[in-house]
Structure 1
Amino acid sequence: MKEPETIRHGLRVITPGIKATIQDLGRKGIRHHGLARGGVLDLRSAGWANKLLDNDRNAACVEIVLGGFRAEALSACEVSVTGAQADVTVNGKAVEMWRSLQLAPGDELAIGHARHHRLIYLAVRGGFETKDWFGSRSVVVREGLEGAGPLEPEDILPAGSAEALQGTPRIAPPQAWQWLEQPPVLGLVPGYQYHQFQPADLRRLVTTEYQVSDESDRMGYRLAGTPMADPPPGIVSEGIVPGAVQVPGDGQPIALLADCQTIGGYPKPGIITSMDCGLLAQQLPGTQIRFEWTDVLSAQNQRRLFERHYHETVWSEDGRSLHWR
């Protein structure tokens, strides 16, 4: 992803950590070509990273798995770091997450290892203007699109704005991160194959605690718990979307996420709400999660409220609160 040396605004990657990729809200209308939607796994944390900088809702940011990321500012710029709690420093001096940060040319931003959760988001004012493929800058590594891979040392990340906001730093309100501190209970909307499952297995799905397994990545998370006793047989492969919960023959659910395949052949009792997909994605292996039934209206209202708050609120002069337009 290295860019021409003529770029002077943005960040230079020193160390990407375990894995870091550029993500926005993903691709739309291309799944019939076999391409995954992609996009940020945690809509809330990525959204707040951009909101702190007054970015466009779809501005690209860096999604960092488990931390360990370091970068140098090529110019004066403004950034924000949200998501899983980690130690963040600028030139070795500790700074807070969930707020806007001013960087001068040559400043080194370092993000330590995540505590308790998995994903950290780094945004820059104006968004990162990397290569656009099919209407999105999101990287789906397995698809191998040219120049769309995980970040590497010395990669240059161009910023969409060469200016920093003037005035006091913005500080996200507690609601921005408090949801991460709650027990991970995931809303599950029944799907059209719901009635193919035995009533006892459906009860088990929402009364059992499942453990996030080591087999978890941007495609999906395998969950381990009391298996369904009599799951339906496999089906003819059909279109599938992020959030779908598949149940293979072993009775253990697989929750699909942003990089999931475009078709699947396992029955699905339901789909996790778009906001709760981020809550699941943030969980580390070994974490206990559970499901609860919800409905389409509740899921839509949850997402619409978040989106409306993003678009229709503005920062106060002191940068510590938001008010509706």
Structure 2
Amino acid sequence: MSGFKVVQPGLMTLIQDAGRFGHHRIGLTTGGPLDALAFKWANRLVDNPVNTTALEISFGGLVLLAETDAQIVLAGAQMPLKINGVEQDRWHAHRIKAGDKIEVGFSAQGARAYLAVSGGFQVEHSFSSSATVTREGIGGFTGEKLKQGDYLNCKPPMKHKGYRLPETHRPDYSDNVTLRVITGYQQQAFSDYQKRLFFSSEYKVTDRADRMGYRLAGPEVKPALDGILSEGICHGAIQIPADGQPIVLLNDRQTIGGYPKIGSMIALDTARMAQMLPGSRISFDEISIDDAHNLHCLAHIRFNNTEPEPVD
């Protein structure tokens, strides 16, 4: 066999590819990496297509035993990476051999890291994707997080290029940030005062924060509507339930919902928020859909134009 044995699965380690698209009509959500940028860099640094199946490690604690020769890279949150007990640089491809022990420690900053292997983890797809959504019991290994004793199959060893991302290009996962929001058509359900309150206040990430959504705590925002007919929900939608505390919906959200929505956070910033631990503080800034489009295009160009450094 060629792959990795799971010695210790960590707190929450999921098999993910870029996501499951085109299936909302049958109630299946998108899944995929909460931090798409770190996921794409992990694959790019081991010369994989950017949607190749990798591991999303939440908070840390993963230990693997290699039973193949390959290159690996860890990108994202500041989780220490050790190979055979020796700490190694993150955002940097490392050659490993069969018998090597790979340890990902617990995060010092940020919440999600991505472990990619040259050639990708070989996982059977469900509805066109390997992305694990535990709420739906789909993707990965029977729709569940990794467990001790699981085996991650890989392609046989092959020659792959490896790269490192210079520190100047690595994301900053510090806390207390301003996240950008596009107001939607339901903003009419919120008075000018309520909107000013929302955009001028500071909110705290609660411990009710997971892949479905982040529940925040702060000044109560009250819409004029108690509820609406259930309708489709986009990634990043900010629902305001009866208690007035915002919920930012993420990759594993339900596909429909009935709470009023004050707007939607842009994907660049949902990724940033998903790296924040409970207790972190955030605020919101209103931008236009044109601004959001420009930011998305600039981020795409920046990723494509940033050249990582080859490693031996």
**Category of TM-score, reference length = shorter chain:** over 0.9
Identity over the aligned pairs, expressed in percent?
36
Q: Partner of 2:202 in structure 1?
A: 209
Q: Partner of 1:241 in structure 2?
A: 234
Q: Distance in 2 between matches of 1:311 and 1:10?
A: 30
Structure 1, unaligned runs of 5 or more: 1-7, 321-325
Letter in 2 for 1:20: T
1:139 aligns with 2:132: yes
Following superposition, the deviation at residue 182 of structure 1 comes to: 6.4
Q: Partner of 1:62 in structure 2?
A: 55
Q: Distance in 2 between matches of 1:240 and 1:173?
A: 37
- For 1:155, which of 150, 154, 176 is the aligned residue? 150
Q: 8 Å contact 1:53–1:100 — kept in the other structure?
A: yes
Q: 8 Å contact 1:127–1:161 — kept in the other structure?
A: no
User: 3-state SS of the aligned residue for 1:298?
Assistant: helix
In the TM superposition, 1:175-214 aligns within 5 A as 175-181=168-174, 183-214=176-207
Q: Partner of 1:257 in structure 2?
A: 250
Q: Distance in 2 between matches of 1:244 and 1:300?
A: 16
Q: How far does the alpha carbon of each residue in 1:128-185 deviate from its partner, in whole angstroms, 9 at most, with x for none?
A: 121201111100011123722111112111224622435xx52212354333236422
Following superposition, the deviation at residue 9 of structure 1 comes to: 2.3
Q: Partner of 1:126 in structure 2?
A: 119
Instruction: Work out the number of aligned pairs and report it.
Output: 310
Q: Distance in 1 between matches of 2:166 and 2:224?
A: 44
Q: 8 Å contact 1:201–1:231 — kept in the other structure?
A: no
Q: Distance in 2 between matches of 1:281 and 1:41?
A: 6
User: 3-state SS of the aligned residue for 1:278?
Assistant: helix
Q: Distance in 1 between matches of 2:153 and 2:19?
A: 19
Letter in 1 for 2:90: M
Q: 8 Å contact 1:231–1:248 — kept in the other structure?
A: no
Distance 1:184 1:160, change over 3 A: farther
Q: Distance in 2 between matches of 1:308 and 1:156?
A: 37
User: 3-state SS of the aligned residue for 1:248?
Assistant: coil
Q: How far does the alpha carbon of each residue in 1:243-294 deviate from its partner, in whole angstroms, 9 at most, with x for none?
A: 0000011111000000000100011111111111111111111110111111
Q: Distance in 2 between matches of 1:309 and 1:163?
A: 29
Distance 1:195 1:319, change over 3 A: farther
Q: Distance in 2 between matches of 1:187 and 1:133?
A: 33
Following superposition, the deviation at residue 204 of structure 1 comes to: 1.1
Letter in 2 for 1:152: K
Letter in 1 for 2:211: R
Q: Distance in 2 between matches of 1:62 and 1:262?
A: 24
Larger deviation, residues 154-163 vs 85-94: 154-163
Q: Distance in 1 between matches of 2:156 and 2:264?
A: 38
1:224 aligns with 2:217: yes
